[in-house]
Amino acid sequence: MPVASGPDLTRVRQRIRRAAAGLGLGPVRQAEPVTAAGEPARTTLAHGGGGHVEIAPVTRGAARGPRLSLVDSGPGVHDVEPATTDGHTSGGGPGRGLSGARRLVHACEPDTEPGRGAPITVVARTADVPAARSGAW
């Protein structure tokens, strides 16, 4: 999906939610990848000049969820470690974008170097929850 305008950010979030729902994730688990991908998607637009998001299912045993790849061709991140730390900001915000995303999902990893853009992969997985036993209440 392209990320070239503000309305694209809304469409990306909606598509991620539908992908997560299609994999059987409940509403709370759907919100995790939507929220985690929101900041990198916004950064793709604001600092990377736009780009695109690829969404694919990932499964490992009973665990399943969406894998999101956010790709741009902007200036890249010069130093990844501070960029993934609470409080670091490149645009005047509160500095909780990538660090907050990492707390919500299985993986949130930038693969970047200066001058090469800042592709970020977000992997949200959840394990199947066993059905409640009859009479458990």
Tally of CA atoms within 13 A in the half-sphere of 105 that contains its CB:
31
Burial call 57-74: b when 16+ CB within 10 Å, e when fewer? ebeeeeebbbbbbbbbeb
| Residues paired with residue 67 on neighbouring β-strands, in sequence order | 56, 123
Average model confidence (pLDDT) across the chain: 76
* Local confidence band at 77 (pLDDT 50, 70, 90 cut-offs): low
CATH of domain 2-78+100-123: 3.30.565
**Every domain of the chain and the residues it spans:** 2-78+100-123
pTM: 0.74
Q: Averaged over 28-32, what is the pLDDT?
A: 88
Residue range 115-135, pLDDT digits in tens:
667 677 778 877 554 444 444
